[in-house]
Amino acid sequence: MPRLNDVTDTFLWGGATDRDADPIRRALRHNRMALFGAALLTSAVAAAALAQWIAPYDPGATLQVTVEDVYAPPSAAHWLGTDDAGRDVLTNLIYGARVSLTVGFFASFISVFIGGAIGTVAGFFGGRAERVLMRFTDVVLVIPDLPLAIVLVALTRPGLINVIVVIGIVGWTGTARLVRSQTLSVKQRKFVLRARAVGASNLRILVRHIFPLVLPLIAVNTVLVMSLAILNESTLSFLGLSDPSRTSWGQMLNSAFTRGAMSAGAWWALVPPGAGIVWVVLGCSLLGYGLERVLNPRVASHHLSSAHPTSPKSAKTKRGHPHQTSPGTEFSEAPVVLDVRGASVDFTASGCPPLHAVEDVSFRLHCGEMLGVVGESGCGKTTLMLSLLRLLPTGGRIVSGEVRLSGRNLVAMGEKEMADLRWKEMAVVFQSAMSALNPIRTVGDQIAEAILRHEPRAKKIDGRVRELLDMVGIGPGRQHQYPHQYSGGMRQRAMIAMALACRPTVLFADEPTTALDVMVQAQILDVLDRLRRDLGLAVLLVTHDLGVVAEICDSVLVMYGGVVAEYADVDALFNRPRHPYTRELLRAFPDLSRPKAELVAIPGSPPSPNALPPGCRFAPRCPDASSRCHAEQPTLHILDGRHQVRCHLVESNSGVGSAHEPFRRT
């Protein structure tokens, strides 16, 4: 079945709050880390380069050593005191930076070169080369590096070059693994496949297409490898395995340790060299860590982020939109279970203007009714659904309007009360059951958990779980299996069974059939349809698929750019669509009754919530837009029954839309 948009719902799931609302702050924060690290490193490099001029003494010249000069405490002449041979600690500290940085730089270069070569060859050529190389890497990875380095240096003659080479050749495994996986993933990108298809040579593909994408990662990795190399160098020097003719920090610590600084109480011979090592290594790790986060951003807020906003003090319409009363209830005589009035959702992050993700949404859901929420990706469908459950990520919440569930206002409810209500009254079937089920707990266990949460004294849990699974057509033998042992469709049905565990009144289903094959989709929808009829469940179905809506929904909410474009009973919407967006959606959807009709995709894409057009949100893509549409936001017009449309054209020309051929329900 075709979808309106194959792109996943980046609006919410792509982490809109992190990516769009806060890019500068985030980049700055991570860069701040990187900047600080770079500052530490630069100052160390400067000290090493300018050692001749800034060091107070000449490192080679031994002073007139008298007894007082040995381990002399810090004084005006020797800011950091003297060591066992009466040498100035500060001078040695500055000159010591040279060895650390030289070894760090060249050794990490060797490591990254070996690791990079092995990783690239393994990732790019695959096959036997990859197997052999990666097996070799795994083998070397488990050999402890410091003992190996000690053995290697001890067996050769200690010297700067030897130390560099040895540290270089024990530290490449991490790079090899990293580069291999990155090369592998780049290799499968479309542009590489395309280059290969037109006959580009391996070398050309590597140099032109793969290296540019692998290099930034290697650069960051180099900085981290360097920090390890510097630590290893200091340890080897401390063990006396370094070039005795050059002062290094590890060597200073070696003489402090072996020549009585500890018993002499000469902390000044002990602390500064270590501080020097920390200075440089911390510089590397901060730089690497900061850069890595910029290069490879991770969603910084998660589902349990503690900075969760509390409910607003007053949940009244604040934004100046005329409050729309919900239209008449012609759908059924059944009682209203969920009544949403003028709900608006904002994402807020400190230092940024709030992001209006959903504005002024109103609808009513009756017992046994199925409401389809449709619209392209990024129109706020999932945001709306999660906001009703108050499950939005940090910073996202309903800022105005009311959400009444069987009479109680959810917006003003306390967190604890809300948690008691979740699943008991409102359950969710998420988009991908594979990721929505915990992979390391059995399906039955996860269903039982939901029951026990809301009915702590429930008995015969096992039997109830079996019954629930049976209801969605899953055999009793499957109860104690793990999600990965289920097929895709079964997982989704198990998710539905779990959602029904506490007999909720409202079920939210977020694209429950995405990524399932057609037969399984039909199965799932069938289960949903049957259950709501049998159990009187009210269902809010978020979907891309108009065919599904036509088939099983009673009413439809069309969302565009965070607002309701049109809200109507399913017949009215398909046969008398009033909003141009709805009509465009229908035209983009194949109709079996009109096989000759042309499928027309809507050009452009929905607006991002941080760049909303000043007028009607659909105006830039609307075929019928007038100058008024571009300038002024339309209000919601109530037509007959509960048919609502947010469009200027409805008032100016009520005949709009009549040109559309009736859509026949299948």
Partner 1 sequence: MTHCRFLLGKAGGALFTVGFVLVLNFFLFRILPGDPARAGVRDPRLTQESQVAIQARFGLDKPVINGIERVNPLRLGSFTVNPLDTQFFIYLRNLLQGDLGISYHRNRPVTELLKERLGNTVLLVGSGQILALLIGIALGAVAAWKSRTAIDYGALVGSLVAWSMPTFWLGMVLLFWGSRWLGLPIGGMITPGATFANPWDARMDVVLHMVLPVLTQTIVYVAEYVLIMRTTMLDVLSEDYILTAKAKGLSTFQILKDHALKNAALPIVTIVALNLGFTVAGAIQVEIVYSWPGLGQAIYESVVRRDYPMLQGAFLLLAVSVVFTNLLADLLYSYLDPRVRTA
Q: Which of the residues 430 through 449 are near partner 1 (CB under 8 A)? A: 430, 432, 435-442, 449
Candidates 280-288, 530-538, 572-580, 588-596: pick the segment binding partner 1 (CB under 8 A). 280-288
Contact 608, 533 (CB under 8 A): no
Looking from the CA of 179 toward its CB, the CA atoms found within 13 Å total 35
Report the b/e string of 319-356 with b at 16+ CB within 10 A.
eebeebebbeeebeeeebbbbbbbbbbbbbbeebeebb
Candidates 132-140, 213-221, 550-558, 568-576: pick the segment binding partner 1 (CB under 8 A). 132-140
| Interaction pattern, residues 142-181, with partner 1; x per rule: CB under 8 A | xxxxxxx-xxx-xxxx------------------------
Which CB sits closer to partner 1, 537 or 619? Answer: 537
Tell me the CA distances in angstroms from 603 to 6, 375, 585, 612, 646, one per residue in order: 15, 14, 11, 17, 20
Least distance to partner 1, CB of residue 597, Å: 38
**Of positions 193, 215, 262, 597, contacts partner 1 by CB under 8 A:** 262
Question: How many helical (H) and strand (E) elements, i.e. helices and strands, does the chain have?
Answer: 26, 12
Instruction: Classify 459 as helix, strand or coil.
Output: coil
Q: Pick from 478, 456, 454: which is nearest to 465 by CA? A: 478
Residue that the structure tokens 């002990």 belong to: 270
**Of positions 45, 63, 117, 141, contacts partner 1 by CB under 8 A:** 141
Least distance to partner 1, CB of residue 419, Å: 5
Binding status of residue 139 toward partner 1 by CB under 8 A:
yes
Which CB sits closer to partner 1, 148 or 195? Answer: 148
Contact 120, 177 (CB under 8 A): no
Three-class SS of 123-176: HHHCHHHHHHHHHHHHHHHHCCHHHHHHHHHHHCCCCHHHHHHHHHHHCCHHHH
Binding status of residue 79 toward partner 1 by CB under 8 A:
no
Binding status of residue 271 toward partner 1 by CB under 8 A:
yes
Q: How many Å is the maximal CA-CA distance in the chain?
A: 107
Least distance to partner 1, CB of residue 195, Å: 33
Least distance to partner 1, CB of residue 7, Å: 18
Least distance to partner 1, CB of residue 476, Å: 18
Binding status of residue 76 toward partner 1 by CB under 8 A:
no
Which CB sits closer to partner 1, 109 or 267? Answer: 267
Question: 497: which 2 tokens?
Answer: 């069974």
Q: Which residues pair with 638 in a beta bridge?
A: 644
Number of residues counted as binding partner 1 (CB under 8 A) = 82
Alpha helices in 536-636 (DSSP H): 546-552, 570-575, 580-587, 627-631
Least distance to partner 1, CB of residue 14, Å: 12
Least distance to partner 1, CB of residue 472, Å: 17
Which CB sits closer to partner 1, 381 or 578? Answer: 381
Residue that the structure tokens 């909003």 belong to: 579
Least distance to partner 1, CB of residue 621, Å: 31
**Amino acid symbol at 158:** P
Binding status of residue 414 toward partner 1 by CB under 8 A:
no
**Of positions 485, 593, 635, 652, contacts partner 1 by CB under 8 A:** 485
Binding status of residue 413 toward partner 1 by CB under 8 A:
no
Calpha distance 576→657 (Å, rounded)? 7
Least distance to partner 1, CB of residue 546, Å: 26
Question: 275: which 2 tokens?
Answer: 């501080």
**Of positions 128, 303, 313, 459, contacts partner 1 by CB under 8 A:** 303
Distance of CA 663 to the CA centre of its chain: 40
Binding status of residue 31 toward partner 1 by CB under 8 A:
no
**Amino acid symbol at 355:** L
**Of positions 190, 298, 313, 460, contacts partner 1 by CB under 8 A:** 298
Contact 448, 434 (CB under 8 A): no
Candidates 80-88, 131-139, 310-318, 620-628: pick the segment binding partner 1 (CB under 8 A). 131-139
Binding status of residue 32 toward partner 1 by CB under 8 A:
no
Least distance to partner 1, CB of residue 232, Å: 8
Alpha helices in 189-266 (DSSP H): 190-197, 202-204, 211-238, 249-258, 261-264
The residues in 387-406 that bind partner 1, with binding defined as CB under 8 A, are: 389, 391
Calpha distance 168→358 (Å, rounded)? 55
Least distance to partner 1, CB of residue 227, Å: 7
Binding status of residue 198 toward partner 1 by CB under 8 A:
no
Binding status of residue 597 toward partner 1 by CB under 8 A:
no
Which CB sits closer to partner 1, 135 or 530? Answer: 135
Binding status of residue 256 toward partner 1 by CB under 8 A:
yes
Strand 644-646 vs strand 636-638: parallel, antiparallel, or unpaired? antiparallel
Contact 430, 396 (CB under 8 A): no
Least distance to partner 1, CB of residue 49, Å: 22
**Amino acid symbol at 156:** T
With 0-12 CB in 10 A as exposed, 13-18 as middle and 19+ as buried, what is 533?
A: exposed
Contact 405, 338 (CB under 8 A): yes
Distance of CA 550 to the CA centre of its chain: 34
Binding status of residue 424 toward partner 1 by CB under 8 A:
yes
Distance of CA 298 to the CA centre of its chain: 5
**Of positions 27, 181, 257, 588, contacts partner 1 by CB under 8 A:** 257
Calpha distance 314→311 (Å, rounded)? 9
Contact 554, 371 (CB under 8 A): yes
Candidates 64-72, 465-473, 477-485, 530-538: pick the segment binding partner 1 (CB under 8 A). 477-485
Q: Pick from 529, 543, 442: which is nearest to 485 by CA? A: 442
**Of positions 175, 227, 251, 479, contacts partner 1 by CB under 8 A:** 227
Residue that the structure tokens 């390890």 belong to: 228
**Of positions 231, 500, 531, 540, contacts partner 1 by CB under 8 A:** 231
Candidates 60-68, 75-83, 418-426, 521-529: pick the segment binding partner 1 (CB under 8 A). 418-426
Report the b/e string of 502-519 with b at 16+ CB within 10 A.
bebbbbbbbbbbbebeee
Which CB sits closer to partner 1, 175 or 432? Answer: 432
| Interaction pattern, residues 317-356, with partner 1; x per rule: CB under 8 A | ----------------------------------------
Q: Which residues pair with 371 in a beta bridge?
A: 540, 555
Which CB sits closer to partner 1, 264 or 597? Answer: 264
Q: Pick from 428, 450, 454: which is nearest to 441 by CA? A: 450
Candidates 209-217, 269-277, 402-410, 647-655: pick the segment binding partner 1 (CB under 8 A). 269-277
Which CB sits closer to partner 1, 261 or 563? Answer: 261
Instruction: Classify 121 as helix, strand or coil.
Output: helix
**Of positions 92, 248, 285, 492, contacts partner 1 by CB under 8 A:** 285
**Of positions 34, 192, 277, 531, contacts partner 1 by CB under 8 A:** 277
Residue that the structure tokens 């020549």 belong to: 259
